[in-house]
Structure 1
Amino acid sequence: MDFHMKEHSFTTDLEFGQLEVSGNEEYGFRPYQLLVSATAVCSGGVLKRILRKQRITFEDIRIHADVKKSEHGANEITDIHLHFTIAGTDASEEKVKKALEITRKNCTIVQSIKDSINITESFELQ
């Protein structure tokens, strides 16, 4: 990936389109937003794949991410909590719990940041 400086941001051209990143959300996506989004979407995508592989039906998966940052130093992200709402499923809570354990082990982003950011998950079935 190549990034090009603009006055208030950096951009990169990707297969889907141009990504603009800035410390100021008036000019692009903020880096922490991208990190949290990557964590949530990677986990959601892996969970979806696992549920389908286990032949567990569902209609929708929604993910809410709560983020905590340090009040000292660089204001770094210390915790990300992902809450999954799985709608229209025939799965038991035990099956989903096991699927989330597998998800955690197979999400590239979670595995990349787990030693520096505390990542937790919870879920509800609707």
Structure 2
Amino acid sequence: MEFKMTEHGIQTDTGFGALDISADEEKGFRPYQLMVASLAGCSVSVMRKILKKKRLEVEDIQVTAEVTRNPDKADRIEKVHLHFRIKGKGLEDKMDKIMELTTKNCSMVQSVIGSIEVTETYELV
């Protein structure tokens, strides 16, 4: 990836268009938002693959993220709690194992172990 300085931050071109990154939320994505989005996005992608491999029917997955930051240490991300809302059938007795596999196989979550505490919960809707 190549990043170029802009008036309000930096920018990179992706296959989906330009990605603007800025400390000013009105001018682009803030770096911490991209970090949290990477954790959530990777987790959902891995979960979908696991569900598909197990041939489980899922209509929808939504995830919310609660972020704890430390203002005394450059506003570093200390903890991210991901909560998954999953709409599907026949998942009741399988989700604990699926959550375990999701965490184990998500490269973004594995990359921050020891730096950011990532916790995950789910509910079936």
User: Which position in structure 2 is the counterpart of 1:3?
Assistant: 3
User: Which position in structure 1 is the counterpart of 2:118?
Assistant: 119
User: Which position in structure 2 is the counterpart of 1:97?
Assistant: 96
Q: Counterpart amino acid of 2:116?
A: I
* Structure 2: distance between partners of 1:29 and 1:45: 21
List aligned pairs for 1:1-126, cutoff 5 A: 1-92=1-92, 94-126=93-125
What SS is found at the alignment partner of 2:123?
strand
Unpaired segments ≥5 residues, structure 2: none
* Structure 1: distance between partners of 2:101 and 2:54: 12
* Structure 2: distance between partners of 1:32 and 1:68: 11
Unpaired segments ≥5 residues, structure 1: none
**Runs of 4+ more than 6 Å apart:** none
- The alpha carbon displacement at 1:16 in A equals 1.4
What SS is found at the alignment partner of 1:59?
strand
- The alpha carbon displacement at 1:125 in A equals 0.4
Percent identical residues? 46
Using the size of structure 2 for normalisation, the TM-score is: 0.96
What SS is found at the alignment partner of 1:62?
strand
Alignment coverage as a number of residue pairs: 125
- The alpha carbon displacement at 1:56 in A equals 1.2
* Structure 2: distance between partners of 1:10 and 1:71: 23
* Structure 2: distance between partners of 1:27 and 1:85: 30
* Structure 2: distance between partners of 1:62 and 1:73: 31
Tell me if structure 2 keeps the 8 A contact 1:78–1:116. yes
**Greater fraction of residues in strand:** 2
